[in-house]
Amino acid sequence: MKIVRLLMMAIIIVLMVAFVFSKNNWDEKIEQHSQQSMDNVAQTKSVKVLGEKEIVQEKESTEEKAEVIEDEEKAASVKSEESEFYNLLLEQKITSIKLLGDGITAGYGHSAYSAPDGGRIIFHGNGETYREAGYEFDSWANQLRNYASKPEFGEVDVINAGIRDKTADWALRNLDRLLKPKEEAVIVMIGTDDRIFITLEEYEATMRKLLAVADERSESMIVMSPPPSKEDLQPYKFTMKEINEVLKNISEEKGYTFISQFDAFQEQMENGVKYESLMQTATSNPQNDGYELIWQTMKQELDLQ
C-alpha cells in the first residue's frame, strides 16, 4: 500500500513537471507568434508608407512633367501665333499685303511725306480719287514694303490704302472699293478721327463689322491700335486708350492677331521718352521717330526676323 502511494506521488510530480514545461513552451510560442505578427504589421505599414511615398513621388513627377509639357505647348502656341505672318512670307504664300487705314498708315506727318500725282490709285468712287503715298520716305508702311522685298519672300506687293482724314465708319461704308473679294494679307489700323463724329459704342460696332469682313476676305489679318495722341485737339467723344481697349477686346474675343501701338508708345514714354519726340502736338500724327517705333513694334510682335 505504501508502494502504491509512492507510485501515485511520483506520477503526480511527473505530470506537474510536464505541465510546467508545456506551459513555458506554449507561452514562448505565443510570444514568438505575437512578435511575428507585430513584425508583419510593421513590415506591411512600411511597405504601405513606401508605396504611398512612391505614389506621391510618381504623382508629383507626373504633375511636373504635365506642367512642363503645358508650358512648352503654351510657348509653342504663342510662338506659332507670333510667327504665322513671317512663316507665310517665308513660304511665299503671301504675294500681296493690303494696308487699310488713315493718315497714320499713309505716313502723313513724316517730314518726307509725299503723295505723287502719278501714284497708284487706291480708291475711286463717289466722286473721290485717292492715290498711294510715295515709297521713298520711312513710314512704317514703306519699311514693311522694304522688308517684304527680301528675295527669300518672292514677289510681294504692299498696297498702302491709308487715306488721310478718313474714319473707320467711312472705310466700312466703302469697304468693297478698298478690299477685293479675296485678299491674302490685310493690316488694319484706323479710328483716330472717329472720336470726332461717333460715340465709342458706335465705333466698336463699326470695327466689329469692318474686321469681320476683312477677316473673311483675307488669309491673314492683323489688327493694330493707333498710337496715343493729345486729347484736347478736338472735342473728342472718347479717348485713344478706349480705342485700344475696344480693339484689344474684339481681337481676343475673335482670335485676331493684335498689336497695340498705343501700349508700345505708352511704354516708351514711361521710360522717359518725350511725347513730342514721337507724336506731333498740333495733330494726331506721329513724328519720324514715332513711325520708326510703329515699325519696330510690328517687327517685334510679328517676330519678323
Query: 189-210 pLDDT, tens per residue?
Result: 999 999 999 999 999 999 999 9
- Residue 32 has which C-alpha cell? 514568438
Per-residue pLDDT, 49? 41
Query: 234-258 pLDDT, tens per residue?
Result: 999 999 999 999 999 999 999 999 9
Query: 136-170 pLDDT, tens per residue?
Result: 999 999 999 999 999 999 999 999 999 999 999 99
- Which positions of the chain have pLDDT values less than 70? 1-82
Sign of CA dihedral 197, 202, 204, 209: negative
- Residue 14 has which C-alpha cell? 511527473
Q: Are 93 and 99 in contact (CB under 8 A)?
A: no
Q: What is the DSSP string of 92-114?
A: T--SEEEEEESHHHHTTTSTT--
**What is the rounded CA–CA span in Å between residue 170 and residue 167?**
5
Buried b (16+ CB within 10 A) or exposed e, 51-73: eeeeeeeeeeeeeeeeeeeeeee
**What is the rounded CA–CA span in Å between residue 305 and residue 298?**
11
Other beta carbons less than 10 A from residue 193's beta carbon: 20
Per-residue pLDDT, 3? 58
Per-residue pLDDT, 83? 75
Domains with residue ranges and CATH for the chain: 92-301 (3.40.50.1110)
